[in-house]
Structure 1
């Protein structure tokens, strides 16, 4: 939506969503957006915090580019009308900036601007209202992209992306979309794991499609596990914002003992990989199902005013966070790697861009700093829009794209295979390629994924496509990329921790995978 709103209004723009528009991850982001907004903060401090959290694997030029654009990006959102939380206490050294800033793990300053504890919803609702008011922007929901159309795939001269084949789940028909520019803003791949904070659609679709189209992917072994997701049999994908710990919440064992100071001097404000591993260690050491996050020592009015959404949601599960500790476990949360792009979001395929969690910009390194993710979306979307505008006169509309050929396939009477393979994939990824890894576990995972890929390809080649089949195909492809990347990294760094090589190598390097054929 940010990219669309920054393009000329004489362009015809189609925004495709797999389900309802609000079903993506943005809507559920609670904490906020990291940016340099306070006179007591600085670009250099934000850069330094990002580099430290990224375990010396961030690309410093990408970090600097993003952070230097952060202030302007936030002011653009304010101009759009995003209702960020105001600060009711005047702080003279901050000048006329009147918004409340909070602090999260890994940050040396309060620099997280937020809309209470529902920042993603506030941003989404504001931008959606703006896009719906633009007659040149058409939102098409319940459309599932199957694959990109490229000149190479059509055996034409050139390497350009020309559009995509898209399943309309309402009609079952596959439509052909032709476009001068195609932007992947499809989110991450956390659904490849059994337990995740992400909505159901986070299947790595854009990463898998870009890989098949001939794009490199980078650092897929770095999957961030959010330390604190609600542990409750009726709670599905319910994340507890990092801002809770930023405002003083502590992590305890079932007996009330605080444990984070034993793992890191920053305690609960350590980066997410450290906190998640500490929780995982304590759960395995004691054989417990969860640990507890407790903010009940803070005034009840403070808790209800700062975390109204979280407070109400927890009450529905019988947990009053003003009095009760909250049972939590780590869950797959964010894909730090993705499709390799430059500062404009350009991929290896001309005309194809990737923005946000589906991309690999180099910003996050081996571990994403809290609240840098939304910032990356806005900065790179605005940069991509400028780059596209420069090319408008040079690029014509594609022509003669063939329709989707379904003449050789039939309806499936064995969809149980999809459900079984989906479940098996997510379980072995959790067990073998999770928070703590070993070479033996990765070898087992690699063996299983090769068998699954063959089964899925056979099914895909013979039956009509469905959303479940498309997502399974993409999940399996992304799982292979994660496993392959993890097997290549013979050290422990950031989010990749292996018992076989627990130390960090003195020289940092990215894991870049190159597709063998592209478009095959």
Structure 2
């Protein structure tokens, strides 16, 4: 079994992981930075972010106070106000760094940045690159990373588990005060060998968990690996019940992942209509189509159930089509490819799992409850989003906490030595799986039960049923894991079941309806605000 040593280990190659890697590598040109990605570096959640990145850019029409207030309102009482202030005020500097790296944001005819507006925002503050902002940011960061000599990217490496004292034979529980991360065990999918990577500092930037649902805008890689690994390592996870469903994914039965119709389309004037052609959002919120995502998603869900349909419509026929094509070329072409001319026809849309507001609990410097382990990006729960993420705050959060994790790492790195007593991976007694159907069918069952029982609208009975079925899936999968050799498919199933359990368990603990968690058995909000920590 081979062993790799690196000063900084980054798991994930999206905006959070690459930002952190770039800053640490430039600060420490004599140290090694290793980035691990389970497919190739370009395939990340970041790549699929359409709308843009929020930031106070024009202080004549916007302010930090407005952005802070919008974020707190969207978070429905569970944001950490200190974290919100940090992200909003440090955000513009992080955005400027991206521009300095070569990222291109759209400008108007006067040469000023063409700022967009999305649901929940009180001002135009969204910087964007057409409707493929994430792809542009990923391009700019990767170009910088590839030009930095002391960063190495490992493609097609799948992290199996974090290495802690548990692997040295010690009993580790959630009450253990000094759990330490020494690195990871990783499956090299090109050789099918388990590698051991020792690291002084490990950073989880492993993205979201949308694939736990049948319908999601997330890419196939979004299987909650980081959250599941930290939970198994006895680290702290919080607020997993708050899963954001994007209101408007393109309705295409059987297609996964779902194609996202960015909220910016409604920001530019798109109108949601039901089967009868009625503009229904005014019945649900005075902000109409620009209400926060949780409200819009529930409204669409309600209209679909009332009419017995599987989608509603987004009407863009009244909009300036030249401007539409310029701002949303990807959406225009996608719709056209399936026979929908947005100038004449309404776009069929339905909600899809989009973003996890909870995750690995971190402090204001990105530190987790496990020593020498940081987390940033969607896998982390920093306190910014609370019960519901404000549109386009995710890329902002990723950059701010990648930077803060880097600053904390600079102070920490000289105090850490490699632990060279880590045992090799033990695969004795395992065989190659004879039937992949055991894995693929369990995953289908998981996606189905999460979508049917733990979706936009929940009840106590649905959550109880989900938990019973999850218990059975967990038992079957753990037995399989103990007897067969490790594969990415098995690891992803195992991680998704863990994430599903965390979502359901957190949802069962929250005896109220708040933000993205809407339970018809507990419609009132509690006066006692709390985070659900597991």
Which band: TM-score by shorter chain?
Answer: over 0.9
Instruction: State the partner residue of 1:6.
Output: 23
Contact 1:196 1:331 in 2 (8 A): yes
Unaligned runs of 5+ in 1: 91-97, 514-520
Decide whether the 8 Å contact of 2:167 with 2:422 is kept in 1.
no
Q: 2:165 aligns with which of 113, 132, 151?
A: 151
1:193 aligns with 2:213: yes
Give the structure 1 partner of residue 487 of structure 2.
Answer: 466
Q: Are 1:108 and 2:129 matched, yes or no?
A: no
**1:140-289 pair list within 5 angstroms:** 140-155=154-169, 159-233=179-253, 235-236=255-256, 237-289=258-310
Q: Equivalent residue of 2:42, what SS?
A: helix
SS in 1 for 2:200: coil
By how many angstroms is 1:156 displaced?
A: 6.2
Map of 2:512 onto structure 1 = 491
Q: Aligned-pair distance for 1:214?
A: 1.6
| CA–CA separation in structure 2 for the residues paired with 1:242 and 1:179 | 40
Partner of 2:11: none
Q: CA deviation at 1:234?
A: 6.6
Aligned to 2:394: 373
Distance 2:500 2:320 in 1: 44
Note the C-alpha offset of 1:295: 1.2
1:75 aligns with 2:96: yes
Residue aligned with 1:69, SS? helix
Counterpart residue number, 2:43? 23
Residue of structure 2 equivalent to 1:93: none
Helix, strand or coil: the match of 1:393?
helix
- Secondary structure in 2 matching 1:183: strand
Q: In structure 1, what is the Cα distance between the partners aligned to 2:343 and 2:420?
A: 61
**Take 1:134 and 1:403, find their aligned partners in 2: how far apart are those partners?**
31
| Deviation of the 1:235 alpha carbon | 4.4
Residues 160/234 of structure 1: CA separation in 2 closer, same or farther (3 Å cut): closer
Deviation digits for residues 359-382 of structure 1, max 9, x if unmatched? 111100100000000000000000
Spell out structure 1 runs of 4+ moving beyond 6 A: none
Distance 1:11 1:82 in 2: 26
Q: How far 1:10 sits from its partner (Å)?
A: 2.2
Q: State the partner residue of 2:375.
A: 354
Contact 2:118–2:391 (Cα < 8 Å) also in 1? yes
Shift of the alpha carbon at 1:401? 2.2
Q: Who is 2:331 aligned against?
A: 310
Which deviates more, 422-431 or 385-394? 385-394
Q: Judge conservation of contact 1:161–1:352 (CA < 8 Å) in 2.
A: yes
The separation in 1 between residues aligned to 2:187 and 2:338, in whole angstroms, is 37
Q: TM-score, normalised by structure 2?
A: 0.93
The CA deviation at 1:310 is 1.2
Cα deviations by residue, 1:32-91 (Å, 9 ceiling, x for unpaired):
00111111211111010001001111111111111111111111111111011112246x
How many angstroms apart in 2 are the aligned matches of 1:316 and 1:88? Answer: 30
